[in-house]
């Protein structure tokens, strides 16, 4: 009996260690989100905020601080009388509205319909959408996998090519959804892919572009994080990697690329922070896989244009992030092209995108994708684009589904300009 009891206790202990605690979904019901105008008094405002239960939403806090205030502290926050705009009256209610996903229905071998862009979707449906889209255009596309995430999901992409055949031209290379909560990026990247494939056969401008470049589009480079935003915490940013000795989960993949990773000031060394850079450059399984894949492009026909799609803020950011004084050799050309892109984007709905060097226009970042793509992978252009909303608009990561199409259309017009002028 004694032995049996001891064995049972052992089994219970083993289970307690092996089975992770069932995590509940974090609710933002009743959270009110504000944009606070700082007038460069960021430190003083942050000191007041430290007494309240708030969720920070932005990292570029010099001009404004975006926060979601917990229901019990909304009155105390409003009594502080900061100059604010309301981003969400009730963040939880807006998340609930956003999570009404339209069902995805497509018959075999048919091109998915444009109604796909009327709502956000579950991750499994995104995977199926790309697979169906590729199946409808087998002469010009295929699905590929670059590797496996921390939790074992495939990191998939879609490869598009034109009349020269598969892999015959320099690469145009996109990453989406590296920061899990930036849902609009996956949708915009999907729309660009959809337009490239569906217009190839009937639009000379698109045919010229696809005959000139091979496109490698990875819409969800952080699939674990994205799934987690749908199951547990809508505002999750990092990957879902656990590390021995760290109580917090997740690494900021866009601070983990092994280039200028060691430079101080552009990332956090604390595993609990949103910008945690990892224990060593490239020590996340996702970045390892992406590095290996990127190398195949560099060693193939080279990389003409790389874009890492993010939200939010309306920015087109050129290298570098790690040092405001460092300029890419083709800095002037990059800047003029980015300004041309900004002008073209504005022609659709008047949306104004700010252009500039990442470090100066937004904030310093180390171990980011665009610095790595520029200096290690030798991309001619490597940019970060921060999508809607902008500095004057409401909402943040939780962008209403009605803005998916306009966000996508203005970027599609911009991409056509880029492909003709790059």
- Which residues form the interface with Zn ion (CB under 5 A)? 179, 310
Nearer to Zn ion among residue 200 and residue 309 (C-beta) = 309
The distance of closest approach from Cβ of residue 374 to Zn ion in the complex, given in angstroms and rounded to an integer, is 18
Decide: helix, strand or coil at residue 138: coil
Between 153 and 310, CB nearer to Zn ion: 310
In the complex, the smallest distance separating the C-beta of residue 197 from Zn ion, rounded to whole angstroms, is 26
78 is catalytic: no
- Tokens read off for 137: 């255009």
Which parts of 107-222 fold into alpha helices (H)? 123-136, 183-199, 204-212
Using the minimum distance from each CB to Zn ion, give the nearer residue, 35 or 310.
310
Contact 148, 155 (CB under 8 A): yes
- Minimum separation from the CB atom of position 73 to Zn ion (A): 27
Q: Which own/partner pairs from 38-42 qualify as long-range (CB within 8 Å, at least 24 positions apart)?
A: 38/62, 38/63, 38/64, 38/65, 39/83
Q: Least distance (Å) from Zn ion to the CB of residue 416?
A: 24
Q: How far apart are CA 145 and CA 87, in angstroms?
A: 38
Enumerate the H helices of 165-307 as residue ranges: 183-199, 204-212, 223-231, 285-299
Listed residue (172, 167, 164) closest to 216, CA to CA: 172
Classify residue 72 by burial, with Cβ atoms within 10 Å: 0-12, 13-18, 19+.
Answer: exposed
Rg (the chain; Cα; Å)? 22
Closer to Zn ion by CB, 238 or 416: give it. 238
Pick 134 or 395: Cβ nearer Zn ion: 395
Q: C-beta of 213: minimal distance to Zn ion in Å?
A: 25
| φ and ψ of 217, to 5 deg | -120, 115
CB 17 within 8 A of CB 77: no
Report how far apart, in Å, the C-alpha atoms of 279 and of each of 150, 262, 276, 363, 418 are: 15, 10, 9, 22, 37
* Integer Cα distance of 185 and 174 in angstroms: 10
Dihedral sign for Cα atoms in the order 158, 223, 386, 391: positive
Nearer to Zn ion, 179 or 260 (CB): 179
H-helix or E-strand spanning residue 348:
helix 331-349
Nearest to 168 by CA among 27, 18, 300: 300
The least CB distance from residue 359 to Zn ion, in Å, is 15
Joined together, the tokens standing for residue 325 give 């004084």
Q: How many CA atoms lie within 13 A of 210 on its CB side?
A: 26
In the complex, what is the shortest distance from the CB of residue 311 to Zn ion, in angstroms, rounded to a whole number? 7
Closest distance of CB 389 from Zn ion, Å? 14
Return d(Cα 200, Cα 213) in angstroms, integer: 13
User: From CA 122, how far away is CA 143, in angstroms rounded?
Assistant: 19
Judged by CB, which is closer to Zn ion: 184, or 415?
184
Cβ proximity to Zn ion: between 133 and 387 the closer is 387
List the catalytic residue out of 98, 182, 286, 386: 386
The residues annotated as belonging to the active site are 386
């Amino acid at each position: 009996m004694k032995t049996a009891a001891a064995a049972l206790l052992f089994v219970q202990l083993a289970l307690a260690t092996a089975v992770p605690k069932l995590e509940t979904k974090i609710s933002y019901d009743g959270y009110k989100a504000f944009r606070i105008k700082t007038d460069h008094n960021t430190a003083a405002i942050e000191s007041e905020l430290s007494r309240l239960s708030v969720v920070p939403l932005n990292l570029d806090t010099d001009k404004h601080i975006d926060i979601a205030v917990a229901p019990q502290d909304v009155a105390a926050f409003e009594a502080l009388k900061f100059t604010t705009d309301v981003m969400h009256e009730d963040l939880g209610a807006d998340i609930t509205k956003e999570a009404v996903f339209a069902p995805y229905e497509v018959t075999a071998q048919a091109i998915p319909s444009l109604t796909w862009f009327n709502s956000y979707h579950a991750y499994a449906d995104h995977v199926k959408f790309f697979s169906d889209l590729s199946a409808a255009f087998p002469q010009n596309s295929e699905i590929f996998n670059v590797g496996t995430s921390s939790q074992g999901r495939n990191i998939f992409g879609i490869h598009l090519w034109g009349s020269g055949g598969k892999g015959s031209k320099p690469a145009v290379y996109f990453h989406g959804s590296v920061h899990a909560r930036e849902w609009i990026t996956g949708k915009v990247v999907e729309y660009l892919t959809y337009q490239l494939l569906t217009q190839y056969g009937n639009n000379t401008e698109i045919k010229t572009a696809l005959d000139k470049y091979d496109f490698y589009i990875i819409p969800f480079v952080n699939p674990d994080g994205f799934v987690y935003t749908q199951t547990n915490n809508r505002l999750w940013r990092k990957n879902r990697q656990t590390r021995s000795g760290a109580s917090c989960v997740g690494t900021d993949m866009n601070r983990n690329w092994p280039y200028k990773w060691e430079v101080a000031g552009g990332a956090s060394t604390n595993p609990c922070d949103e910008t945690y850079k990892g224990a060593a450059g490239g020590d996340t399984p996702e970045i390892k896989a992406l590095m290996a894949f990127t190398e195949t492009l560099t060693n193939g026909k080279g990389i003409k244009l790389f874009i890492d799609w993010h939200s939010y803020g309306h920015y087109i950011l050129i290298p570098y992030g790690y040092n405001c004084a460092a300029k890419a050799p083709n800095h002037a050309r990059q800047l003029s092209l980015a300004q041309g892109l900004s002008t073209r984007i504005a022609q659709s709905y008047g949306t104004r995108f700010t252009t500039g060097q990442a470090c100066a226009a937004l904030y310093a970042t180390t171990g980011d994708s665009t610095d790595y793509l520029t200096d290690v992978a030798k991309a001619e252009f490597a940019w970060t684009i921060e999508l809607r909303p902008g500095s004057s608009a409401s909402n943040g990561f939780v962008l209403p589904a009605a803005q998916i199409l306009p966000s996508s259309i203005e970027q599609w017009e911009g991409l056509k300009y880029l492909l003709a002028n790059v």
